[in-house]
Every structure is written in structure tokens, then in C-alpha cells.
Amino acid sequence: MSEQSLTLPATLPRKSRRYQRPVSGLERYSLVLHGAYRYHVDGIVEGVGEVDPQQLRAAIAVAAAANPAIRVRLRGWLGWSRWVDSGRAPDLQVLPLADWDGSSEAGAGFLESKLDPRRAVADVLLVPCRDGRTRLVFRSLHAAIDGRGCIHWMGEVCRVLRGEPPQGSDSELTDQQVQQSYADKIPEEPVTPPQQCIPVLEPAPFEQRQTLSYVWRRVLIDRDVPQLLTKAAVFLAEWARRREAGEVGFTIPVDYRGFRIQEMGIGNLTGYLRLKVPEGSSSRSLVVQLGQRLKAYADCRQFPGLNSLRWLPVRLMLRQLRPQIDKVLYTVTPALPTGGVVSMGSLKAEHYCFPGFVAERAYGVPGSVGKLNFIFVNYPDHVCAIFAAPAAYNHRGQLDELVGAFKNHFSSTSAGPVS
């Protein structure tokens, strides 16, 4: 792509005050998880064509100026910690030709490095690949940027590369502030003991577990699948109960933007609720359960003691967590649910095209945390589904078997949809 092939738009006018927002309790705990694992939100734009690094670097700068939350650094201490605009756009790394097909971690060792919240919460990798595709990887720190924020950021850079003005966002809202605004609407509920959730897959025996690492798999379903979130929850629960009886529950993120608030922010503006999957559940019964939980503002209910985390040092919490990681990840415990199920919504590939580059799709890699994470993106004619789990849950190919069965079940040649 030549430098004359497009004209970058001017940045949008910003507030005169330097962008900053407080670190919420959940974001602080996410910093602890990042210390123990590698808690990123990594988005990938995959397509065919050449991308000029100079044009891409310039577009990143323009898009970042319009979205200062992508330029923040962690500053301060304990409850006074804040995300503060550094004025510096995310770095661009241009990588050599990679033997990577975008469907797993194989050949993508460059994804393993961790972002440092005091130095940068995001960067961009330009990865030409031997399969003929070019992949743009938008890495971001989950403690500062959530999934919807990452999607917005990816779209902004591509928008600028097309010569369009960025939409821009300077929202300083936090998830905790949104939750507090709904505190008087949350009904009292009886205290119930936490679920002891079984995992979907069988972990390797203790003596066969190596250093903690995560593996992920991407598959394409050749048709649209309505209500895939609840259908996937049923499928995964049935898979887990083939091995052992027990409770199954999934964490479901709820995007506040356009639902609880009418503003666009690219920080963490997501709530969470627990979807229980009793034996014999159907997709329809889970849709009803989700609707009831949303009407009860369950996504706005703060975790007990979450606010107090703002006053505990990250290193102290990390020191307490590390000895428990094995137990938390590989045993039945109320500390973690069965997994997480995440819908990234409906996207169109053309939103990520720009001169010289034809995008085929955009998708995300689940964060390296928990027992099993499943995310999916709906396209008009297919679904892009991604699974991630600790490597000890694939020591004899259990994850690969699950992913293959999932693809076969939901493809157009399957016997029929899940009830």
C-alpha cells in the first residue's frame, strides 16, 4: 500500500482535561489474575492483502488520540489507583513471516508475552503468515479494556485506514459506577450456598501437569446458529455430565453499553451473572433464566467484598492466590464455575476492510483464565467459535475432541439443533 493510497482523517476534538478514570474493584482483581496468568483480550483481524506498516502506525495514532482509554497507564496506589492517559499510542510490532493459521496457539509464541499495566495496556502486531493471510492482532490488558472495547478499538483503526473519521470515545465511566447507579433496583435475594461446579473436561493427573499454560482452538460453523449462547451452554453441560454427575454453571458477561447506559466506553463496562444449567435443561429454559436474571439486575450485583479489594496490594493478593491455583483450576470448588460463555455479537467482515486489505473475519482469543472459556462471533453466513483451557485439560486431546464434536453438532450436516 503506498503512502498516497489514502488520506488519514484528523483526530476528533478531545476534552481539554487529561483522560483518567479510577481503577474499579473488578479491574484490580483482574490485575491479580494477570499476575497469575496472562489476562489479555486479544482481537484478530484476518484477511488477504498487504498492510503498509507506516500507514498502520499512523492510523493507530489517529484512532488512539480519539480513544484515549487505549493509551492509559496504571498510576497511583491502592484505592487511589487510576488509569491515566499517557499520550502515547499503542506500539506496532511488525513480525517476520509466521507459520500460523490463526486457529490455535501453534506457531504464535509471540502472543505469550504479557503487557505491563504501568507501561502499556495495548499493542498491535502485524503478522504476515505462510497460509497467505495477513493477521492484525490487537492485544489489550483485560484489567483496562474489555471485549467490546477491544472490538471498538479494532474497528476504529480499520475505519481510519479507510480514510474515515474515528467515532471516538472519552467515557470515564467504570463498571463499578454503573453498578452503583442501579443499586436501589437490585432486589434482596436469599443467601444460597455457592455452586460446586464440575469442569467440562477431565484434567491431567497432578504428576502429569506441567507449567501452567493455556491452549485454544478456533473452528468455523458453516451456518448461522440462533441462540448459540444458551445452546452452547446445554451442549457443554451435557458433555461434562457424560463423565460425572454434578452442578454446572457458566459465567455470562453482560455488556452495559446500549443496555444499562447510553454511552460508549472502551474500558471495562461489563457486568457478570451466573447461568445455572440443571440436568435436563433446554436452550429455551436457559433463555428464560437469563431474562429473569437480567430483570433482577443480577449483572449489576457486585461480588461480596469486591470494593475492599481496592485497598489490598496486588502483590499480597497474588501471593495468596498462587498456592491455590492448582486446586482452583483442577478440582470441584465454589471458587470457579464450569467455565465462561461469551457472545461477541454479530459482525461483518467489510467493517475491517481497507485499501489493499480484504478482511475475512475478526474474532477474539479467550483470556488465559479459568477452566474453560468459549467465545463466538456471528457472521451472516457462519459462526466463528473459539475455545480456551489450561493445557492440562488437553493432555490426551480432550479439548480437541470437544471442539470437533461441537463443530459437527452445530454444522449444517448435523442431525438437528439442540432443543
User: Which domain CATH number covers 243?
Assistant: 3.30.559
pLDDT at 264: 92
CA distance 261 to 73: 25
pLDDT at 308: 87
Q: Using one digit for the tens of pLDDT, what is the confidence trace for 47-98?
A: 999 999 999 999 999 999 999 999 999 999 998 999 999 999 999 999 999 9
pLDDT at 414: 66
Same domain, 255 and 404: yes
The CB density around residue 105, as the number of other CB atoms within 10 Å, is 18
Per-residue pLDDT averaged across 179-207, rounded? 92
Same domain, 247 and 382: yes
Q: For residue 3, is it within any domain? A: no
Domain boundary among 140, 171, 202: 171
Could you give the angle at the alpha carbon of 399 between the alpha carbons of 322 and 405, nearest 5°? 150
pLDDT at 407: 97
Same domain, 198 and 89: no
pLDDT at 3: 37
Instruction: Please report, in angstroms and rounded to a whole number, the separation of the first and last CA atoms in the chain.
Output: 49
Same domain, 160 and 200: no
What is the pTM assigned to this prediction? 0.93
Residue 96, SS3 per DSSP: coil
Q: For residue 6, is it within any domain? A: no
Number of domains in the chain: 2
Q: Using one digit for the tens of pLDDT, what is the confidence trace for 201-255?
A: 999 999 999 889 999 999 999 999 999 999 999 999 999 999 999 999 999 999 9
Which residues make Cβ contacts (< 8 Å) with residue 20, sequence separation at least 6?
72, 82, 83, 84, 85, 172
Q: For residue 318, is it within any domain? A: yes
Average pLDDT score, the chain: 93
Tell me the CATH number at 130.
3.30.559.10
Same domain, 50 and 113: yes
Same domain, 183 and 167: no
Which domain range does residue 110 map to? 20-171
Domain boundary among 123, 140, 171: 171
CA distance 397 to 408: 17
Q: For residue 229, is it within any domain? A: yes
Q: How confident is the model at residue 2 (pLDDT cuts 50, 70, 90)?
A: very low
Q: For residue 398, is it within any domain? A: yes
Same domain, 341 and 389: yes
Least confident piece of the model among 179-183, 235-239, 322-326, 412-416 = 412-416
Q: For residue 13, is it within any domain? A: no
Same domain, 135 and 224: no
Residue 312 has pLDDT above 60, yes or no: yes
Same domain, 199 and 215: yes
Same domain, 182 and 164: no
Same domain, 223 and 314: yes
Q: For residue 42, is it within any domain? A: yes
Domain boundary among 136, 171, 206: 171
Same domain, 203 and 76: no
Q: For residue 274, is it within any domain? A: yes
SS3 string, 32-61, reads: HHHHHCECEEEEEEEEEECCCHHHHHHHHH
Q: How confident is the model at residue 8 (pLDDT cuts 50, 70, 90)?
A: low
CA distance 330 to 4: 55
